[in-house]
Amino acid sequence: MTASADKFTRQTLLDVQPLTPSLFTLRTTRDPGFRFRAGQFARLGVTKADGSTVWRAYSMVSSPFDEFLEFFSIVVPGGEFTSELSRLREGDTLLVERQAFGYLTLDRFVDGRDLWLLSTGTGVAPFLSILQDFEVWERFERIVLVYSVREARELAYQALIGDLMQRDYLAPYAHKFRFIPVVTREPYAGALNGRITALIESGELERAAGLELSAEHSRVMLCGNPQMIDDTRALLKRRHMSLSLTRRPGQVAVENYW
């Protein structure tokens, strides 16, 4: 993908934090004209040594009201983009397209009582943005964040998740929130063990949330591994839950930029 100079801005890296050998977060300056809805993604560009630019899509972790942009990335071994991105340090330049994209936003749903946010790996990013936005707490009675990783050390943003309900503007809504970490490859205190699909099939996820996944009351957002998304959509379809489209509102929204 290429982009003409008038379609992107040059932003400065403010902070790069390695979390594990393959996971890191990065924060950049934000162009005053860059607008997005919580849950959307930006196209980021890095310039290689040969002068060419590589572009990839990344969901914002930051809220639409932050003065910075934050992203969560995995290093893909031999990956053309992430190998370049992971080398960047504070003060380096990152290209950001001027327009935000994506439909993993709350306006995908016209109704619903309970919101389920089901994520694997870096797919938690758009949900962290959504959870920092006031709108979601006003709209739904219960909000469940399910965050699945392979190893416990990959559970990023625990401080942010834990502190959400301490924020003055969200404190009145603390009773609405349930966070369910899932670790698939090792036992970990306080986390469920198993794939999201298996936890849905067994009923364990609903028991942990204290909520039923139903077409009547539940609205579900999915982001992460494409196989998880496909398998979970198939399970939800059996419960009469369909993809929400503009012409046909439903109960499920997904992000497909992988």
pLDDT of residue 2: 56
pLDDT of residue 78: 83
pLDDT of residue 87: 87
In the chain, how many domains are there? Answer: 2
Residues 185 and 247 in one domain: yes
Average pLDDT, the chain: 94
252 pLDDT band, cuts 50/70/90, is very high
Neighbour count for residue 11 (Cβ, 10 Å):
21
pLDDT of residue 3: 60
CATH (domain of 116): 3.40.50.80
Distance CA 103, CA 132 (A): 17
Residues 147 and 238 in one domain: yes
Domain end point (choices 37, 68, 97): 97
Residue 91 DSSP symbol: T
Strand order in the sheet with 218-223: 177-183, 142-149, 114-120, 218-223, 252-254
Q: What's the pLDDT tens digit per position in 1-51?
A: 456 668 999 999 999 999 999 999 999 999 999 999 999 999 999 998 888
Domain end point (choices 97, 121, 140): 97
Residues 112 and 93 in one domain: no
Range with lowest mean pLDDT among 36-40, 47-51, 167-171, 224-228? 47-51
Distance CA 243, CA 20 (A): 34
Q: Tell me how far the alpha carbon of residue 78 is from its chain's centroid.
A: 24
Residues 47 and 132 in one domain: no
Residues 90 and 116 in one domain: no
pLDDT of residue 257 exceeding 70: no
CATH (domain of 9): 2.40.30.10
Range of the domain at 86: 5-97
Range with lowest mean pLDDT among 78-92, 178-192, 225-239? 78-92
pLDDT of residue 101 exceeding 70: yes
